[in-house]
Homo-oligomer: A and B are copies of this chain.
Amino acid sequence: MGLPPYLRIASELRARIASGELRAGQRVPSTRGITEEWGVALATATKALAVLRQEGLVRAVPGVGTVVGGATVVPGPPRRGRRRETRELSRELVVRTAIALADAGGSGALSMRAVAAELGVSTVVLYRHVSAKEELVALVVDAVFGEVRLPVCGPDGRRARLEASARAQWALYRRHPWLAKSVSTMRLSSSPNAMRLLEWTVAPAVECGLGTAVTLAAFVRGIAVDLEDPVDERLGLGPDALLEFGLARLLDGLAPRTPERRPPGEGRR
């Protein structure tokens, strides 16, 4: 039949829902899953899911994925006081919805129009909460970096702390494969939560400057941009193996196991 692939996939999924094979609350295939099952590009998978979302058949749930069921209330913060029952649009809800869409559909799914549609409001309404998409992306990145839980008395050895920081960042990029691309379009230093992480990385006991933390962060992000697309194995190394190999070597340079050199004075900020 002559349907474009994304419509064909959408109607196959629609049939699965209609037949009861996929029930309300159950997850439909993720974009990644769709690219594998149908052998199509990420953009096609994203569009297929967007069709079903538009129809109200499925919705994006933060931290879960795309599930069957009409767009209802995105789980919000615990209600306090006697506010009226209807969900109130807030900057936080906009940001949370954007994250849910990106988690479900990749970086291509993070658009002003898609966020508005998911919330059931017209696009212009978003501009009451953010000045432009650029600001939304910055808020989204900051919110995601806010997920990182840093131990208050973390490891004090330099190498251990740098490694802990790098692994925390890597875990974040793994959890949100679209994140590295979004980070690449903004200044990480404009995110308070990212700065908090960088400063934790080079806490006083570690005795090195912010440049060390930024170098580490650039390396981790440099590998993480490959997380969104399916790996090709031509290099014989997937992103995880690359991270392990490169991180070990970088730590050797930044924090030799036998401490003999201290990173040059870069100004402790």
Interface residues of chain A, those whose CB is within 8 Å of chain B, are 180-181, 184-185, 187, 189-190, 210-212, 214-215, 218-223, 225-226, 229, 232, 234-237, 241-242, 245-246, 248-254, 256, 263-264, 266-267, 269
Contact = CB atoms under 8 A, between A and B. Distances in A.
Contacts of A181: 184-185
6 contacts: A214-B235, A218-B223, A221-B222, A245-B263, A250-B250, A252-B253
A189 to B, nearest CB: 5
B210 A236 contact: yes
Contacts of A237: 210-211, 214, 266
Given A211-B241, A218-B242, A189 B232 contact: yes
Contact of A236 (B221, B232, B269): B269
A263 B269 CA distance: 35
A178 to B, nearest CB: 12
A253 B246 CA distance: 9
B189 A235 contact: yes
